């Protein structure tokens, strides 16, 4: 224990530290000089004198406790609760986007439907975003028809307006067998 302590206090202790390309000695000479033990090179911020400041605890956001959006059409509103539903996955949303033209025709014949608006902004990140954006691009004309149908329907556009959204925020819609309408927006 004493030898280890003395070695760490020795100013020549760095001679046993490996520093790539800075030492002219052969590996055998280095190992002989250091009793067969070489230390790895120093890494990190070696000039740091003061410890990092304590910035508090990391906030944990549990499901259903999402904070209000900071900007955009939903600014100041939370996206939890009825506005958010994790039961839909990317495949279902891509399928709904692909059926936009048929959905637009069905919506134009509905009167006073029960409407639910779901915020699917969270689905537009990472690998999911690529699949969704590709589907949106492939079905752009059908989606435009869907948005126009929604904009021209008072109950559908009012449901969107109540959430601070408009038809331009719509990415898909789905008509349930009961006649209830789910609008997916971001």
pLDDT class for 69, splitting at 50, 70, 90? low
Its pTM stands at 0.54
- DSSP string of 15-55? GGB--TTT--S-HHHHHHHTTT--BPPP-S-TT--SPPPP-
**Predicted confidence band of residue 57 (pLDDT cuts 50, 70, 90):** confident
Question: Distance between CA atoms of 141 and 145, rounded to whole angstroms?
Answer: 6
Tell me the β-bridge partners of 100: none
Highest averaged pLDDT of the listed ranges 30-34, 66-70, 171-175: 171-175
Q: What is the pLDDT of residue 27?
A: 78
Question: 95 is written with which tokens?
Answer: 């399928």
Q: Mean per-residue pLDDT for 121-140?
A: 83
pLDDT at 113: 78
Asked if residue 146 lies in contact with residue 102, where contact means CB atoms within 8 angstroms, the answer is: no
Edge-first strand order for the sheet with 115-119 is 115-119, 181-185, 170-175
User: What pLDDT, on a 0 to 100 scale, did the predictor assign at position 80?
Assistant: 40
How do residues 113-123 score in pLDDT, each as one tens digit? 789 898 888 88
Averaged pLDDT score across all residues of the chain: 76
Whole-angstrom CA distances from 116 to 61, 113, 152, 180 are 25, 10, 17, 8
């Amino acid at each position: 224990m004493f030898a280890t302590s003395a070695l760490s206090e020795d100013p020549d202790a760095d001679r046993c530290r490996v520093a790539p390309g800075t030492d002219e000695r052969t590996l055998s000479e280095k190992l002989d000089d250091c009793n067969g033990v070489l230390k790895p090179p120093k890494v990190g911020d070696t000039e740091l004198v003061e410890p990092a400041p304590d910035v508090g605890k990391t906030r944990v956001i549990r499901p259903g406790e999402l904070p209000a959006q900071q900007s955009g059409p939903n600014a100041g509103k939370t996206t939890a609760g009825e506005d958010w539903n994790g039961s839909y996955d990317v495949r279902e949303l891509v399928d709904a986007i692909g059926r936009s033209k048929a959905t637009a025709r069905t919506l134009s014949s509905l009167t006073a439907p029960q409407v639910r608006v779901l915020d699917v902004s969270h689905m537009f990140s990472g690998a999911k975003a690529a699949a969704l954006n590709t589907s949106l691009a492939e079905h752009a004309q059908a989606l435009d028809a869907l948005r126009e149908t929604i904009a021209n329907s008072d109950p559908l556009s009012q449901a969107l307006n109540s959430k601070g959204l408009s038809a331009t925020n719509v990415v898909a819609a789905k008509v349930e067998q009961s006649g209830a309408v789910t609008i997916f927006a971001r």
